[in-house]
């Protein structure tokens, strides 16, 4: 999709600190990390949010979670948090779905 930041990172048109790839996903470090490990796992195909991805490509939706778990393990974390923001009202700023993997520090609940 034209003008989508994460499509451009997937395509290699914009640099990303890529840590893991699978057939359908790419994982790269968040540019503004909120934890010692903060990685975004995205489908290579463009979907606006997690629900659209789950409806349109369930296999890729599952692969995001298994990819995130693989990155967590590779970085030595048994405990981690996975987050999807959906909609501007809860802080979604990039409308190419991305699973946040956060780990490496204590976390509170509920989230802010």
Binding ligand AMP (rule: CB under 6 A), the pick from 2, 3, 32, 108 is: 32
User: What are the two backbone dihedrals, phi and then psi, of residue 13, each rounded to the nearest 5 degrees?
Assistant: -80, -25
4 binds Zn ion (CB under 5 A): yes
Our finding on whether 1 is near Zn ion (CB under 5 A) is yes
Distance CA 41, CA 71 (A): 9
**Three-state SS letters, 66-103:** HHHHHHHHHCCCCCCEEECCCCHHHCCCCCCCCEEEEE
To the nearest whole angstrom, how small is the minimum distance from the Cβ of residue 49 to Zn ion?
A: 11
Does position 108 interact with ligand AMP (CB under 6 A)? The reply is: no
Point out which span in 46-54, 57-65, 68-76, 88-96 binds ligand AMP (CB under 6 A).
88-96
């Amino acid at each position: 999709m034209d003008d989508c930041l994460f499509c451009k990172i997937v395509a290699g048109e914009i640099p990303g600190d890529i840590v893991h790839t699978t057939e359908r996903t790419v994982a790269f470090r968040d540019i503004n990390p909120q934890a010692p490990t903060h990685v975004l796992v995205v489908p290579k195909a463009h979907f606006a949010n997690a629900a659209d991805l789950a409806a349109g490509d369930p296999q890729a939706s599952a692969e995001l979670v298994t990819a995130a778990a693989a990155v967590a393990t590779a970085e030595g974390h048994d405990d981690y948090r996975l987050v999807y923001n959906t909609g501007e009202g809860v802080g979604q700023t990039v409308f190419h779905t991305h699973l946040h993997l956060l780990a490496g520090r204590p976390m509170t609940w509920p989230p802010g």
